[in-house]
Amino acid sequence: MTLRCSHTSCFVHDGEACAVGHMDVTQCPLWNKADISVSEAETATMPTSTTQARVSWSGSALGLADIANLTPRGRSILVGVLGAHDAGKTTLLTGSYLQLLRGARLAGARFAGSRTLGAWESLAAWMRFDDSARSPCFPPHTPRGTNRVPGLLHLALRSDNDEFRDVLLTDAPGEWFSRWAIQENAANAEGAHWIAQKADAFLVFADSQKLSGGERGVARNDLRQLIERLGNHVTNRPTALVWAKDDHQPSDTICEAIRRALYEQIPHSYETKCSANRPGSLLAALETVINSAWNKPRANAVATPVCSHQPFSAFRGHYANT
């Protein structure tokens, strides 16, 4: 086996930095508490003494341990991106990232970095004109991976008045949401349930191409089921229905049925349209919920009722029971 640190949130054995800040991992007391019963052949995989500084993230999609290390530095926004398989979720995320790299703004804020640059670039590589032997295409289908927690893509944004936000975007396979829409506690849809519970805002994708094609009836019913399921959890969180691939136009009957389900279940929701043929529309669709979630409403002030008008009885200070 490979030597692992005894700190549950440290991934130095995977090539990342020490979770408690030691540049030389052999000097870390938590590392020295690790199981050292490894063979001589495996010692080559153990970290060696070094004076080089490394960042505490790998560039891949974030997980729960990474969230715990990221969120203490400032306010964060978790956006749940929901929709069926091949609805355009990953294309919108990747297209938005490419627009930010070109200097575009998101919710009036500029791009200020990312801890998932490796994950972003692996998606963006599919859409770039940098290989004469391969023409650009849409990113591949998001793999299912673990069913419990989605991969999270990170954007750091800073506004003109120096307000800073970490934006986390879920990149999950559509199969999760299809199962979750049918059965809330489905065995293979824990990730979709996690998104519904934890997200600060939601983007729900309507695939206009499928809704106007030969399987439009099935696509309509699946989308309505997803909206109804989400309506049981969304409360007052910002929610937008994204009419993706809007080069295709569903019939008025189908659009009306979807809108009726949307506003019955989530009355405060709104709609937006996007298409890969209009790159700016991808960023604008994401902006609809980021704007609403940027400044969350403050909690109501705690009101202490007056139970007596006698000065002594109305005292609200600390006291000790005798």
Tell me the one-letter amino acid at 161.
N
Rounded Cα gap, residues 83 and 222, in angstroms:
9
Q: Would the pLDDT of 319 be above 70?
A: no
For range 244-249, the mean pLDDT? 94
pTM: 0.75
- 8 A C-beta contact, residue 148 and residue 194: yes
The C-alpha angle with vertex 269 and arms to 163 and 187, in degrees rounded to 5, equals: 95
pLDDT in tens, 73-123: 888 999 999 999 889 999 999 999 999 999 999 999 999 999 899 888 888
Q: Would the pLDDT of 38 be above 50?
A: no
Rg (CA), the chain: 24
The C-alpha angle with vertex 90 and arms to 84 and 95, in degrees rounded to 5, equals: 140
Q: Is the dihedral of CA 232, 233, 239, 245 positive or negative?
A: negative
Structure tokens at 240: 């937008």
Q: Would the pLDDT of 29 be above 50?
A: yes
What DSSP designation does 299 have? P
pLDDT in tens, 165-208: 999 999 888 889 999 999 888 777 888 999 999 999 999 999 99
For range 295-316, the mean pLDDT? 66
Return the closest-CA partner of residue 195 out of 242, 145, 229: 229
- Residue % of the chain over a pLDDT of 70: 72
Q: What is the pLDDT of residue 125?
A: 83
Tell me the one-letter amino acid at 76.
S
Return the closest-CA partner of residue 210 out of 195, 226, 194, 221: 221
Q: What is the pLDDT of residue 49?
A: 45
